[in-house]
Amino acid sequence: MSGRAELAARVLDLVAEAAPAAQAEVHVQARSRALTRFARSFVHQNVVDTAEQVRLRVVLDGSWATAETDRADADSLRRTVGAAVAAARLRKPDPAFPGLGTATVPAGGNWDDATADATADQRAAVVREFVDAAGGLETAGYVQTERTEAVYANSLGGTAAGRVTAAAADGIARVPGADGVARHGGVRLSELSGAALGATAAAKARAGADAVDLPPGRYEVVLEPSCVADLLGFLTLHGFNGRAVAEGRSFVRVGEAQFDPAFRLWDGPLDAWSTALPYDADGTARARVDLVADGVTGAVLHDRRTARALGAISTGHAVPGGERWGPVAPQLRVGAGTGGDAAALAATMDRGLLISDFWYTRVLDPRTLVVTGLTRNGVWLVEGGRIARPVGTLRFTQSYPAAVGPGTVLGVGSDLSPVPERSPGELTVTPSLHLAAWNITGGATG
């Protein structure tokens, strides 16, 4: 880590030489992402992307500009500094820029040596387990390992450092006309059981064969963790986002009982599950933020910019480019209940749907957060507490806040599941949810 800290200090010195009146912040991050992909039940690709990135922001006379490089030689660093300084001199002042912080964030993060040094053979072993457990069904997916080591420093004395590892597996098993999915993420490759995931995916695929159509209507539903993760992402990006609140686009009203009392939501970037660095893109320390407690909206996510706009304090949720879309929560958590797994929750339904996965979800109305999307990888009609038949792909159009509003959560599972997200450093941990109503508006074609 000391080498990266020295590199950051060198960049700040170059800024001071080029523009003595300027302030600056620099992130130095070394990341390695290794991916083993499989299709038709055999590994077809192993790739490793390793890069060390220097990201610089220069603040000069009320304006700012950024520049990046993946090279650490003297000429490249000078060109990067020169580009940032020149751009800052050309840009108009940004009156909403909150300035740089001065905090010191101790080094931290969840790290596993075995995952950081994982080989293609070790990832392929997880694939082999998945394929074998699928019992001859066609399979596809990936196993990924990642390591990140980073430092932050600015010209006002603010510093931060951290390192993290992450692993994820995501795969499907297929029968004619039906797919089943299983996925799992975490800090350690050793936490991934290819056998368990493959067996789950295969069971879902077999149970999804010969699906029938279902008419539109409002259905009681059990959403498995992957569906819940999609719901949470939209709630936080468009609702609890400090920029959306400042611009009047958010449904969130702090202090009001906007959710069912059984619904508890927080961001847990420092817990044992976390794959996030202990600081954000502003160099602000991360900490747990309780967004919903016993159904009551408790907080809004902030970076330094949105905190200044609303007279608040940053919650440590800045991301690169966040001036365009606002703060992001990397480690969303929903509190577990006592309802067992998704099948146990479904056993309490008189008539409803058990849904494995969502895709192609898009916002129709940001204010009420009405979202439309499709189901995939397994939907079943439940009657009298038993699975009656598999159902084909369905289109839904649903307000996400209303789906978990007061009086809507009929059960919360005890099946906490870590769902890997697409962005590095993000992992959602949630149980299944039994909800009173979900608005099905058609099939895959409309």
pTM beyond cutoff 0.75:
yes
Q: Are 364 and 372 in contact (CB under 8 A)?
A: yes
Asked if 350 contacts 356 with a C-beta cutoff of 8 angstroms, the reply is no
Taking alpha carbons only, the member of 184, 150, 187 closest to residue 274 is 187
| CB of 403 closer than 8 Å to CB of 259 | no
Give the per-residue pLDDT at 252.
97
Helix (H, G, I), strand (E, B) or coil at 88: helix
Q: Rounded distance, CA 165 to CA 31, Å?
A: 10
Contact of 168 with 126, CB cutoff 8 Å: no
Nearest to 31 by CA among 176, 146, 121, 125: 146
Q: What angle do CA 97, 311, 313 make, to 5 degrees?
A: 80
Paired tokens of 42: 């055999």
Amino acid at 326: G
H helices present in 55-193, as ranges: 74-90, 113-116, 120-133
CB 207 within 8 A of CB 390: yes
The residue behind tokens 């409002």 is 218
Non-local (6+) Cβ contacts of 402 within 8 A are: 368, 408
Reported residue count of the chain is 446
CB atoms under 10 Å from CB of 372, counted, come to 16
Q: What letter would DSSP give residue 401?
A: H
Beta-carbon contacts of 413 under 8 Å, excluding residues fewer than 6 positions away, are 336, 337, 339, 340, 341, 342, 344, 345, 431, 432, 433, 434
- Helix segments in 208-316, DSSP class H: 225-238, 242-246, 304-310
The encoded tokens of residue 342 equal: 């998704």
Quick check: helix, strand or coil at residue 420? Answer: strand
Helix, strand or coil, per DSSP, at residue 354: strand
List the strands of the sheet with 332-334, edge to edge: 296-297, 289-293, 265-267, 332-334, 427-430, 417-420
pLDDT tens, position by position, for the chain (446 residues)? 478 999 999 999 999 999 999 999 999 999 999 999 999 999 999 999 999 999 999 999 999 999 999 999 999 999 999 999 999 999 999 999 999 999 999 999 999 999 999 999 999 999 999 999 999 999 999 999 999 999 999 999 999 999 999 999 999 999 999 999 999 999 999 999 999 999 999 999 999 999 999 999 999 999 999 999 999 999 999 999 999 999 999 999 999 999 999 999 999 999 999 999 999 999 999 999 999 999 999 999 999 999 999 999 999 999 999 999 999 999 999 999 999 999 999 999 999 999 999 999 999 999 999 999 999 999 999 999 999 999 999 999 999 999 999 999 999 999 999 999 878 789 999 999 999 999 999 986 66
Give domain limits for the chain.
Answer: 2-207, 217-443
Q: What tokens were used for 143?
A: 């196993």
The class that CATH gives domain 2-207 is alpha beta
E strand or H helix that includes residue 386: strand 386-390
* Residue whose entry in the numeric block shows the structure tokens 């009001």: 256
Angle between helices 194-207 and 120-133 (to 10 degrees): 30
152 C-beta neighbours (distance < 10 Å), count: 27
Separation of alpha carbons 205 and 276, rounded Å: 33
